[in-house]
Amino acid sequence: MSEQDVKAEIEKCVNMSAPGPHVFLLVIRLGVRFTDEEKNTVKWIQKNFGEEAAHYTIVLFTHADELVDLSLNEYIRENIEIQTLVIDCGGRFHSFNNQDMENCNQVTELTRKIEEMVRINRGKHYTNEMYKQAQKNNEQDEHYNTNTTLSIILVNGGEGGDRGDGGGGGGDLRIVLLGITGSGKSSTGNIIIGSFKFKRGISSMSVTKHCERHETTVEGRHISVIDTPGLYGTTMSEEQLKNEIVKCVYMSAPGPPVFLLVIRLGVRFTHEEKNTVKWIQKNFGEEAVRHTIILFTHADQLKGKPLDLYISESNALQALVNECGGRYHSFNNKNMEKRSQVTELLEKTDRMVGINGGQHYTIPMFKQAQEKIEREAFQQKVTDFGKTALTVAGGVALAAAGPAVVALGKAAAKAFVAPGAVKTLLTGATAAASLNIY
Ligand SMILES: Nc1nc2c(ncn2[C@@H]2O[C@H](COP(=O)(O)OP(=O)(O)O)[C@@H](O)[C@H]2O)c(=O)[nH]1
Ligand SMILES: [Mg+2]
């Protein structure tokens, strides 16, 4: 197919789904090597259909029945490239066994996921205007290349339902637990879901090393709780912790998480704990704090002292609460029977979502925060390189060393930039093969 033919076919398929599809299904075959072309398919969709298109995309895995040792969730979790693809699509995915025509459940389930996405998109669908805009942008881009191996199905879904909004406001809720080791995250998770599924305790065996998710239904609402390794006090490397954070964001998909910053009462408020809000800001972005509630555990150890009074007696605690917009709640994790503490927490999350005008924390916010960290780390490397060069140059004619350092800094910048540049090229590139549009 010539580039022109492909373009004409895409145009046709967009027109066929007028006034614009609710969903792009990005079809990926499992069980065979995940190719470079496939890795770039989300970029391809964004390039050809516009940036917004990814908000309307669900990854549909076929041949999932051929996975022998692992469940689909495990497979995605263990394959960072597939995981990235899924995260790029807001964590939305589904699988089909196309050999099993009788299995109506797989279709019903897909429809449910589509409806959920439409709801999160507030009933909006991809529009032909978005397509035209993307085409206009592409015409100005001399590297435009429509060839790829990807299969896309455009689906016109139903209008958004009213079953909640995926982030509170009475709808489904996804809660991510953050805090230092021993603060009571896993116990808090157990209280919320109403059973002892998260391992808790202080021995090294029970310290949470991987993100874990358990679910429950509270008064008709589907609640998922994602427990995370401690921000401090584990033996994990920064890299391992970072991988786990990516996972917890993925686990909270589709849709917007609420963060619970878990703090233990009754013991000295540590330096690390004081920095946890900064940690959240750095790793999840400034906006994440607007979606955070502080959850104090060990409320039983206050021995009847009102929590407000306890907070007001500590400048550091007060500052922490203020940083999180004055939102806090407390749990006595030893009292599983006291369900009112969970109901009250849910009320507070709903109120927070309301105050945020229904706006949620999103995956792009997370990505932006991560990119910022990478940029800053890179700048730091360049600065350090300059400093080393300055030391090497020694005290020899400082006036001359000045410009030399700048030059070295630039050289260093090039050396460090190179991998990024390759990445950009790779992501900008679309691979050759045929385009199948159904
Ligand atoms: N008395 C009391 N103990 C708690 C409470 N919450 C947690 N714990 C205990 O504190 C310890 C650490 O809790 P855990 O949930 O494992 O902390 P994590 O490392 O943050 O997941 C465990 O021994 C829990 O039983 C609480 O509200 N009251
Ligand atoms: Mg734990």
Residue of minimum CA distance from atom 26 in ligand 1: 298
Question: Are residues 256 and 284 in contact, defined by beta-carbon separation less than 8 angstroms?
Answer: no
Cα 271 to its chain centre, rounded Å, is 27
Q: How far apart are CA 362 and CA 254, in angstroms?
A: 10
Residues 173-359: name the CATH superfamily. P-loop containing nucleotide triphosphate hydrolases (3.40.50.300)
Phi, psi of 60 (to 5 degrees): -115, 110
- The ligand whose atoms approach the alpha carbon of 209 most closely is 2
From the CB of 334, is ligand 1 less than 6 Å away? Answer: yes
Among the listed residues 125, 110, 21, the one whose alpha carbon sits nearest the alpha carbon of residue 59: 110
Among the listed residues 176, 181, 174, the one whose alpha carbon sits nearest the alpha carbon of residue 200: 181
Tell how far the Cα of 147 is from the centroid of ligand 2, in angstroms: 47
From the CB of 190, is ligand 1 less than 6 Å away? Answer: no
Element (H, E) at 1: none
Q: How far apart, in Å, are the Cα atoms of 65 and each of 83, 187, 269?
A: 19, 36, 50
- The ligand whose atoms approach the alpha carbon of 181 most closely is 1
What 3-state DSSP class applies to 166? coil
Question: Are residues 39 and 135 in contact, defined by beta-carbon separation less than 8 angstroms?
Answer: no
Residue 408: what pLDDT? 34
**Other CB atoms within 10 A of residue 183 CB:** 28
Query: Who's near 407: CB < 8 A, 6+ residues apart?
Result: none
Residue 1: what pLDDT? 67
- The ligand whose atoms approach the alpha carbon of 276 most closely is 1
**Can you tell me which atom of ligand 1 is nearest the CA of 189?**
15
Pocket-testing residue among 187, 198, 334, ligand 1, by greatest number of atoms within 8 A of Cβ: 187
Work out the angle between the directed axes of helices 128-139 and 3-16 (0-180°, nearest 10): 160
- Could you name the CATH architecture of 3-163? 3-Layer(aba) Sandwich (3.40)
The residue type found at 392 is: V
- The ligand whose atoms approach the alpha carbon of 200 most closely is 1
Beta strands of 379-425 (E only): which ranges? none
The residue assigned the tokens 């022109």 is: 4
From the CB of 358, is ligand 1 less than 6 Å away? Answer: no
Residue 320: what pLDDT? 92
Pocket-testing residue among 183, 248, 267, 297, ligand 1, by greatest number of atoms within 8 A of Cβ: 297
Residue 393: what pLDDT? 59
pLDDT tens, per residue, the chain with 438 residues: 666 676 677 776 766 666 677 788 888 888 777 777 777 777 777 777 877 788 888 888 888 777 777 788 778 777 777 877 887 787 888 888 777 777 777 787 888 888 777 777 777 778 777 887 887 777 765 443 433 344 555 554 333 332 334 444 567 788 999 998 889 999 999 999 999 999 877 665 556 678 888 989 887 788 889 998 888 766 778 778 878 887 787 777 655 678 999 999 988 888 888 888 988 888 888 888 989 999 999 999 998 899 999 999 999 999 999 999 999 999 999 998 999 999 999 999 988 887 777 677 877 788 888 888 888 888 888 888 777 766 665 544 433 433 333 333 333 333 333 333 322 222 222 222 222 222
The residue assigned the tokens 């145009």 is: 11
Ranges of each domain in the chain: 3-163, 173-359, 371-428
Pocket-testing residue among 183, 232, 302, 333, ligand 1, by greatest number of atoms within 8 A of Cβ: 333
From the CB of 202, is ligand 1 less than 6 Å away? Answer: yes
Q: How far apart are CA 420 and CA 423, in angstroms?
A: 5
From the CB of 300, is ligand 1 less than 6 Å away? Answer: yes
Q: How far apart are CA 18 and CA 23, in angstroms?
A: 12
From the CB of 330, is ligand 1 less than 6 Å away? Answer: no
Among the listed residues 235, 226, 188, the one whose alpha carbon sits nearest the alpha carbon of residue 207: 235
Same fold for the pair 3-163 and 173-359: yes
Work out the angle between the directed axes of helices 398-428 and 363-393 (0-180°, nearest 10): 150
Pocket-testing residue among 198, 200, 300, 345, ligand 1, by greatest number of atoms within 8 A of Cβ: 200
Long-range contacts of 184-188 (CB under 8 A, 24+ apart): 184/262, 184/264, 184/297, 184/298, 184/331, 184/333, 185/227, 185/228, 185/230, 185/262, 186/227, 187/297, 187/331, 187/333, 188/260, 188/262, 188/295, 188/297, 188/331, 188/333
Q: Is residue 105 exposed (0-12), middle (13-18) or buried (19+ Cβ within 10 Å)?
A: exposed
